[in-house]
């Protein structure tokens, strides 16, 4: 990061997390002072292809294009269709909390939060419904596309009976 005087722009380093996961719990979050915002959970796939694990991210939808796409697929999520997305999250952070109910009452927990900034593609029940325009501005984009196709195939082979969804409130109360 560089910060210079004399009105020179500040430069930042970006830390992005990208992956493939199931879209869950799409909601509009009211704010006391200010505009409400859209949020969602993503159950991201990771681990060995024959033993897939999930990590849940609670995301604020931060780009106009991502918000438009999430809104277009809101009914699919509500209808409990399997909505699989290739995503990019920025500004990942941990939100610690204490369980308020259930077996874990009083115990600490944590939620991974971030900003959903890009959606590369969306599949609903295994069928493509959206693909972002191809980026050909770098060799890394070509490699990422090939890797994404391979990961997509693995994800389709390991779809759970129902996409894993964890309502953080329910998780805190029942876990």
The pLDDT of residue 166:
42
pLDDT in tens, the chain (175 residues): 555 556 888 888 888 999 999 999 999 999 999 899 999 999 999 999 899 999 999 999 998 999 999 999 999 999 999 999 999 999 999 999 999 999 999 999 999 999 999 999 999 999 999 999 987 665 555 555 555 555 555 566 555 544 444 444 444 343 4
Query: Model-level pTM?
Result: 0.73
Report how far residue 143's alpha carbon sits from residue 132's, in angstroms, rounded to the nearest whole number. 16
The pLDDT of residue 148:
54
Residue 43, φ and ψ in degrees, nearest 5:
-90, 95
Q: Where are the domains of the chain?
A: 16-166
User: Taking a C-beta distance cutoff of 8 angstroms, is the pair 115, 60 a contact?
Assistant: yes
Which tokens belong to 125? 């029940």
Count the Cβ atoms, other than its own, within 10 Å of residue 151.
16
């Amino acid at each position: 990061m560089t910060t210079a005087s004399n009105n020179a722009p500040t430069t930042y380093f970006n830390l992005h997390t990208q992956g493939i996961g199931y879209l869950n719990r799409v909601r509009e979050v009211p704010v006391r002072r200010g505009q409400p915002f859209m949020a969602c959970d993503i159950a991201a796939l990771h681990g060995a292809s024959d033993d897939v694990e999930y990590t849940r991210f609670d995301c604020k939808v931060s780009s106009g294009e991502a918000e438009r796409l999430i809104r277009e697929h809101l009914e699919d999520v509500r209808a409990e269709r399997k909505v699989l997305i290739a995503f990019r999250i920025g500004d990942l952070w941990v939100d610690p909390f204490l369980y308020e109910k259930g077996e874990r009452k009083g115990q600490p927990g944590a939620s991974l939060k971030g900003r959903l900034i890009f959606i590369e593609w969306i599949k609903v029940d295994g069928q493509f419904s959206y693909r972002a325009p191809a980026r050909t501005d770098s060799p890394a984009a070509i490699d990422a596309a090939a890797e994404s196709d391979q990961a997509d195939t693995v994800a389709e082979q390991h779809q759970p009976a129902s996409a894993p969804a964890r309502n953080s409130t329910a998780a805190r109360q029942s876990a």
